[in-house]
A and B are shown apart, each in its own frame.
Chain A
Amino acid sequence: MDGSASPFRAPVLALDGPDKVTGAARYTFDVILPGMLHAKVLRSPHPHARVRSIKTSRAEALPGVAAVVTGADAARLPDPYYGVAIRDQPVVAIDKVRYVGDMIAAVAASDEETAYRALSLINVQYEKLQAVTTIDEALAEGAPLLFETPVAGEPVKLGEGLISLKEPRPNVLCEFGYTHSDADAVLAQSDHVFEDRFHFSRINHFHLEPHVNIARVTGEQIELWSCNQDPFVLRSDIARIFGRPANNIRVHASYVGGGFGGKSFCKMEPLVVLLAMKAGRPVRLCLSLDESLLTLTKHAGKLVLKTGVTKDGRLTARKSEIQLDGGAYSDASALTVVKAGYRITGPYSWDAIATRAYAVRTNTVPAGSFRGFGGTQASFASESQIDMIARRLGIDPYDFRRRNLLGLGEPFRPGDSGIDSDLEGGLDEVVKRLGYRQRVRSSAQGVKARGMGLGIGIKDGGGTGNHAQALVKLLPSGRAIVSAAAVEIGQGATTTLSRIAAETLNLPLDWVRYGAIDTDSTPLDNGTHASCGTVVTGIAVMRAATDTREQVLAFAAERLGCKADELTLDNWTVRRGNYVHPLEPMIAEHFGGAGFEFIGRGMVKVPNDPKAPLTAAALFWMPSWIGAEVEVDRETGKVQVLHLVVGADSGRSVNALACRGQIEGAALQAFGQSLFEELRYNGGEPANATPLTYRVPLAGDLPERYESFVLEQGGPGPFGTKGIGESGMLGVAAAIANAIEDAVGVRVTQIPFSPERVLAAIEAAR
């Protein structure tokens, strides 16, 4: 299980590396079509308003303007709304605007400058409405409604006994409920019950390649070059919105310049298609980074946890109420709420659980997918409270965790799959690297105090009941093309999936190329989500490669007059005993002409299971183990992270450099959110939605010591792999909060842990 026998010990260089270090890599950002127009979007300056009128004639008359699109155009579409499960977001605002930045009109023109000028000539008359910009405002009695009537869509499908509701109450988008046993009764019998509340902040993905799409409409065919992480999901949405059969929709994906969830699911793509239809020419819409900041965020939220424990430190029951700020539109909130609610138990053993989680509509930027998908919110609250309880009981937080952790094979929740990582082993590795056992208590008097904190994150990996398909084409020369729709967004899908095929076919890695993604020819994939690429798409690729290998061996056996099982494939030769037969001449001799391609198919569907809480057992579990040492300045409240240790389980690393990069990259995003990064609001106005004022971590922000480790404990993917892309995001914020309490004895329950907030906590305790 330690991976020492792995064929993948030697680090492999990324196949997309040479393109990326020489500037040759082409992104959707770089796509240029002949006759292409450029689009810009007019956005609402109001958080909530009814659209009285839009006058576009002056903009349309401006030389160079080819098309102006407004809600009137959108309203004529067969189905102008999108969103995951619940569809409430119009292609462009139809009757109301619901947040500052909401798309109200768009222009396609000969160049961006003309498009910008045309926007200034559009006259919109608004009737301002009262806005709700926080969860509390939205839930207040008599609060103004974002939607006056029910919207399209269905609640997320869940297993038996769980609750999944669409729009259950005013300004509530959806609700999730999970219970196991009688939490109230168990809490009543517990020696201690602690109730704590936590506040989670709103952050933006800040992918450096902005959202960019180019649409071309030719007759019945709609073609999109999109930075979207989910080409096939997008194809379905475009087909539904425009009422066209999906085989007339063609989506091309290129390298994506960062996503982290920000480019998942449908967003402005149908608007670009609508512009291209109206203009009769290809249209490119490249948002500015300012606009990307107004397109999607991670869910802010409030989490209240009521947790029971016995006097000797055994967890008994937890009741949770999780409110996530979904912003103005559904996007992926319905799924995020489910995952946040489900993951709130953390990796611990419980007698009873009762969880309610819901997304609240507010007049702010829509919230949706963000690396970890509800798991970061849950792990911050859960791992903070675990630590708080341990300290209240006078038990070392490490020992308290160990006492309650789920063991190998124990189901995460009844009906779900068993834990497949050694949770304790990972924690021990953090403890060792951090020097947790040797930590010295800071004096209660000095200005600066040091402390250490731990955290464990866990999430289900690979999506729920996920599926993928793949093709592997072997050319007459033995060179191969892997065709699958896991989009290369920097996670290393290109290299990992190519390597899975290369190992299966016994070919050199550089003989394999990851093919261009085009929904016309690439097999379907459910999207680049949920750390599923290596395992789910990976299994499909391995099966496709195996199918190809069997075809080659059957062909060779026929040519050689033997049985296929007497043959092995090795570097594009077949071996039979001591004889080696090169395949290229064999193929040339038999087929002649341009030769022959062996094309293998592979697919995977994670089984549905009505007894599993989320309708399918988790394919694998993604733990993270975090340790932080901090120094807190009691006079200023400034927190300095001196040492951050982050570990995760890759199952087995097919692409070791990429695994490390995923963990460290994810953890630094969480680190930034813990200490300073936040998209703030002043009432209904975003306060810092510009690249200059929205601060993301820089190299200079790195913890003094920053180290990561990867355990290889096996997994269900090819060669024992697991997904690892999101793990590092979990548990970081809690570990830092726990270290702060260890240092100065005060608890901060709201991120970011800004100097003001920490100082306020220190002063309140004096």
Chain B
Amino acid sequence: MTDTVEIAVTINGRGHRLVVSPRRVLADVLREDLQLLGCKIGCDQAVCGACTVLVDDVPVTACTTFAFELDGKAVTTIEGLAEGGRLDPVQRAFLEHGAFQCGFCTPGMILSVKALLARHPEPDEALIRQWLNANICRCTGYQMIVEAVRAAARTSAS
């Protein structure tokens, strides 16, 4: 399997032409080729959600997404959220509400929340909890994350 695939992909708003092996996963391409180290790999099998990134605004686990699947698509990683050093409202809410501890799940968690709020700008508690089921946090006990999501929703709505 020495074949490679050339793909055109937009990452954090910037176009890239990448030559990748068909076996490579998005997480490795982001981390190794593009130095986007905010994409963390926890379980490496689409269980923990730490590697979550957005592909065309849909949250996916980068550890189990093949790079070739991204041809013609747009990827957003945690590095793509803050614009000109200004934190995104979700990032700011996480910071202000102490919604992280070790921080290893945080990039994936924040991107999941971005996707949630894009679809449901005013999620209720049940929906927030349900949505966050996709991301394991072993540190916080989740409640402070739920509160950050509510705060981010309020900021985004106002």
Contact = CB atoms under 8 A, between A and B. Distances in A.
Interface of A: 11, 13-14, 16-27, 29-30, 205-210, 255-260, 288-289, 489-492, 657-658, 660-662, 664-669, 690-692, 696-700, 702, 706, 708
Given A23-B107, A665-B139, A691-B48, A489 B102 contact: yes
B72 interface: no
Interface string B20-54: 00000000000000001111111111011010000
A706 B42 contact: no
Contact of A13 (B42, B95, B105): B95
The residue in B43, B128, B145, B146 that gathers the most chain A C-beta atoms within 10 A of its C-beta is B43
Nearest to A669: B138
15 contacts: A13-B96, A14-B98, A20-B100, A21-B106, A22-B78, A23-B78, A208-B43, A209-B104, A661-B101, A665-B139, A668-B142, A698-B132, A699-B129, A700-B133, A708-B143
7 A-B pairs with the lowest CB-CB distances in the bound complex, closest first: A23-B38, A657-B98, A490-B102, A490-B101, A257-B104, A20-B103, A664-B141
B102 A256 contact: yes
Contact of A700 (B81, B130, B144): B130
B138 A206 contact: yes
A14 B103 CA distance: 11
Contacts of B37: 23, 26, 30
B118 interface: no
A97 B100 CA distance: 39
Nearest to B110: A21
Contacts of B47: 691-692
A702 B125 CA distance: 11
A257 B103 contact: yes
A463 B156 CA distance: 45
A257 B102 contact: yes
Given A661-B98, A699-B145, 4 more contacts: A20-B103, A29-B40, A664-B141, A702-B143
Nearest to A209: B104
A729 to B, nearest CB: 11
B102 A258 contact: yes
B154 interface: no
B103 A25 contact: yes
B69 interface: no
A662 B143 CA distance: 12
Chain A binding surface SS class: loop
Contacts of A25: 103
Contacts of B78: 21-23
The residue in B44, B129, B136, B139 that gathers the most chain A C-beta atoms within 10 A of its C-beta is B139
Contacts of A255: 102-103
B139 A258 contact: yes
Contacts of B48: 208, 289, 691
A467 B49 CA distance: 38
Given A490-B139, A699-B145, A289 B102 contact: no
Q: For this complex, into which size category does the number of interface residues on chain B fall? A: 35 or more
Contacts of A700: 129-130, 132-133
B27 to A, nearest CB: 12
A491 B101 contact: yes
A256 B79 CA distance: 20
Interface of B: 36-45, 47-48, 50, 77-79, 81-82, 87, 91-92, 94-98, 100-107, 110, 128-130, 132-133, 135-146
B43 A289 contact: yes
Contacts of B104: 27, 29, 207-209, 257-258
A589 to B, nearest CB: 36
Nearest to B132: A699
B105 to A, nearest CB: 5
B46 to A, nearest CB: 9
B45 A702 contact: no
A699 B78 CA distance: 21
B133 A664 contact: no
Contacts of B137: 208, 699
The residue in A16, A18, A661, A691 that gathers the most chain B C-beta atoms within 10 A of its C-beta is A661
A82 B22 CA distance: 43
Nearest to B129: A699
A184 B53 CA distance: 63
A669 B139 CA distance: 8
A208 B50 contact: yes
Given A23-B78, A700-B130, A208 B38 contact: no
Contact of B136 (A16, A667, A696, A702): A696
Given A24-B38, A289-B48, A660 B98 contact: yes
Nearest to B23: A113
Contacts of B91: 21-22
Contacts of B143: 664, 702, 706, 708
B146 A21 contact: no
Contacts of B92: 21
Contacts of A289: 42-44, 48
Given A289-B42, A691-B47, A209 B102 contact: yes
Nearest to B104: A257
Contact of A665 (B40, B44, B94, B140): B140
A208 B110 contact: no
B79 A696 contact: no
B136 A208 contact: yes
A210 B42 contact: yes
B30 to A, nearest CB: 10
B89 to A, nearest CB: 11
B20 to A, nearest CB: 15
Nearest to B77: A23
B133 A699 contact: yes
B149 to A, nearest CB: 10
B102 A207 contact: yes
A205 B143 CA distance: 20
Contacts of B141: 661, 664-668, 702, 706
B96 to A, nearest CB: 7
Contacts of A208: 40, 42-43, 48, 50, 102, 104-105, 136-138
A208 B77 CA distance: 19
